């Protein structure tokens, strides 16, 4: 048995006996290691001392009981292996920062996931990123054999939770052991066969059951299938608020990914549903990634000014509102051909709160129009001058890519930011194959040569 297998055996033993008093000598025996070797190798491979791992996992399990059960604090303490309520409360406050009762009554979310060393990916070059985003982990997921259920609907809102409820009804009618199963979901596109009289639903969400033991037989309403594994960035979030889930996706895709040494993978996006007595308590989001072999390059370019028509909105929700206004205007202005125009985005990322925050969506036009009348659409000139430029896939709000550009400028010796001119990002698409249409963006940050500014 190698060290990885030995430490994983120790983890598995700990997980199976969290409710009991655990002697570390017995853990070492299960891992086929001496006690001193267990201490060293456990910390080396997991990043946690074995006692700390055990304590954090117990507190994590207890936090779910506190939020989702009617058990007393004493009952929970006994259930997760503490000898007394006092020792449990002391450990809970030390790790979480508040008392068990304070946590139960709060909106706080504490989760310390079980470690699977077969999934864990170590990349030492990403240490700074890990310190900044400790909630995002990189794992290598194995291929899965799953039971699949496809939920169809004419409404996109709430389709995920409706699909979960439908699968839970199917599970209750089966003989599957729920403790050993994992529930995954993903959005899919439907294919219809008109000859079969298929109903053309607008949306579909696939729920998948993966269990530890081999699946002997399918269950009514579900089909067995194979899901390809791969490398994933994984983040956890409470499940009671759709906005929190969207925010976690945005953090991973718009901030973490462009700053990392990875790029978006070609395997499937996944969402994992963590339940407590069939109640959804949190979700894990799986962003497919692969190693970035060719880093995207920053260039310095001299640009010509160009005319734009745009919508700028201030305050919270400004990006969605500006996009909606511009889209409606383009649809209403049917007399003009915009097929050769370019869409651009800009926003004030210096102040995300209050009315100083603004977002701007616009489109290039051939020339400024006279007698241009529209209450929410204006005209102006963008570009002109020196810019630091990077071309990349369109990572959501682009905040991660913007930070990379700013760090490059600030850490360099040749250029400084020019706050007198506006930054912008221009979008375009490229057809790499008949099945893939990627949206790319060129981001322009205005700069000035340091020597010309300071003389």
Is-contact 282 63, C-beta < 8 A? no
- The H or E element containing residue 25 is helix 24-30
Report the Cα–Cα distance between both ends of the chain, in Å, rounded: 67
**Residue ranges of the chain assigned to CATH 1.10.10.60:** 3-113
Determine the Cα angle at 197 with ends 194 and 203, to 5°.
Answer: 80
Matching CATH number, 126-291, of 3.20.80.10, 3.30.70.20, 2.40.30.10, 3.40.50.1100:
3.20.80.10
Tell me the C-alpha distance between 340 and 336, whole Å: 11
Please tell me the pTM assigned to this model: 0.73
- Cα 69 from Cα 76, distance rounded (Å): 9
E-strand ranges in 159-278 read 181-188, 203-211, 223-227, 230-238, 262-264, 270-276
Return the closest-CA partner of residue 100 out of 115, 123, 84, 113.
84
**Which CATH architecture group holds 298-454?**
Alpha-Beta Barrel (3.20)
Tokens of 216: 């002997």
Rounded-to-integer distance, Cα 421 and Cα 374, Å: 25
SS3 169: helix
Cα four-point dihedral sign 177, 181, 186, 191? negative
Best CATH choice for the domain 3-113 from the list 1.10.10.60, 3.50.50.60, 3.40.190.10, 3.40.50.10420: 1.10.10.60
Cα angle 442-444-449, degrees, rounded to a multiple of 5: 140
pLDDT per residue as tens, the chain (455 positions): 577 889 999 999 999 999 888 999 999 999 998 888 898 888 878 888 999 999 999 999 999 999 889 999 999 999 999 989 999 999 999 999 999 999 999 888 888 888 888 887 766 556 677 778 888 989 999 898 899 999 999 888 889 999 999 999 988 888 776 666 899 999 998 776 555 555 667 899 999 998 766 665 567 778 888 999 999 999 998 876 788 888 899 999 998 998 888 889 999 999 999 988 888 888 999 999 998 766 568 999 999 999 999 999 988 788 899 999 999 988 887 777 777 889 999 998 655 444 568 999 999 988 777 767 777 899 999 999 999 999 888 878 788 888 888 878 877 888 988 888 999 999 986 543 334 456 889 999 999 998 877 65
Q: Is the distance from CB of 207 to CB of 283 less than 8 angstroms?
A: no
How many CA atoms does the CB half-sphere of 183 hold within 13 Å? Answer: 27
Please give the sequence-ordered ranges of beta strands (E in DSSP) within 51-195, or none if there are none: 136-141, 144-153, 181-188
CA distances from 36 to 32, 39, 47 (A): 12, 5, 16
In the chain, list all ranges with CATH 3.20.80.10. Answer: 126-291, 298-454
The span from the CA of 338 to the CA of 333, in Å, is 10
Rounded to whole angstroms, the Cα distance separating 211 from 182 reads 6
Tokens representing 346 are 């800009």
């Amino acid at each position: 048995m190698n060290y990885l297998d030995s430490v994983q055996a120790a983890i598995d033993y700990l997980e199976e006996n969290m409710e009991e008093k655990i002697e570390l000598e017995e853990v070492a025996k299960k891992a086929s290691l001496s006690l001193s070797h267990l201490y060293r190798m456990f910390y080396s491979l997991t990043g946690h001392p074995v006692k700390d791992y055990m304590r954090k996992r117990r507190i994590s399990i207890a936090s779910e009981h506190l939020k989702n059960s009617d058990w007393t604090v004493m009952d929970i303490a006994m259930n997760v292996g503490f000898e007394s309520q006092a020792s449990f409360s002391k450990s809970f406050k030390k790790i979480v920062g508040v008392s068990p009762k304070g946590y139960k009554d709060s909106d706080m979310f504490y989760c310390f996931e079980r470690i699977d060393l077969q999934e864990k990916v170590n990349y030492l070059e990403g240490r700074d990123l890990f310190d900044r985003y400790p909630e995002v982990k990189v794992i290598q997921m194995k291929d899965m054999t799953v039971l699949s259920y496809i939920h169809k609907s004419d409404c996109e809102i709430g389709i995920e939770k409706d699909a979960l409820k439908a699968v839970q009804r199917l599970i209750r009618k089966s003989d599957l052991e729920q403790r050993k199963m994992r529930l995954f979901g993903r959005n899919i596109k439907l294919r219809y066969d008109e000859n079969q009289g298929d109903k053309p639903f607008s949306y579909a969400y696939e729920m998948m059951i993966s269990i530890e033991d081999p699946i002997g037989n399918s269950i009514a309403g579900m089909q067995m299938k194979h899901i390809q594994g791969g490398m994933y960035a994984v983040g956890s979030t409470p499940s009671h608020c759709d906005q929190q889930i969207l925010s976690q996706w945005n953090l991973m895709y718009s901030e973490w990914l462009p700053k990392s040494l990875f790029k978006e993978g070609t395997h499937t996006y996944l969402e994992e549903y963590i339940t407590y007595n069939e109640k959804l308590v949190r979700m894990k989001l799986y962003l497919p990634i692969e190693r970035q072999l060719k880093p995207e390059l920053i260039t310095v370019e001299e640009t010509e000014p160009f005319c734009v028509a745009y919508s700028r909105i201030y305050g919270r929700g400004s990006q969605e509102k500006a996009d909606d206004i511009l889209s409606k205007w383009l649809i209403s202005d049917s007399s003009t051909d915009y097929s050769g125009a370019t869409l651009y985005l800009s926003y004030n990322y210096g102040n995300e709160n209050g009315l100083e925050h603004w977002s701007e969506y616009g489109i290039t036009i051939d020339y400024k129009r006279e007698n241009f009348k529209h209450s929410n659409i204006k005209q102006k000139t963008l570009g002109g001058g020196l810019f630091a430029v990077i071309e990349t896939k369109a990572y959501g709000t682009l905040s991660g890519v913007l930070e990379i550009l700013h760090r490059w400028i600030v850490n360099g010796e040749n250029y400084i930011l020019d706050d007198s001119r506006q930054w912008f990002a221009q979008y375009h698409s490229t057809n790499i194959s008949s099945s893939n249409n990627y949206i790319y963006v060129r981001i322009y940050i205005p700069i000035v040569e340091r020597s010309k500014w300071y003389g």
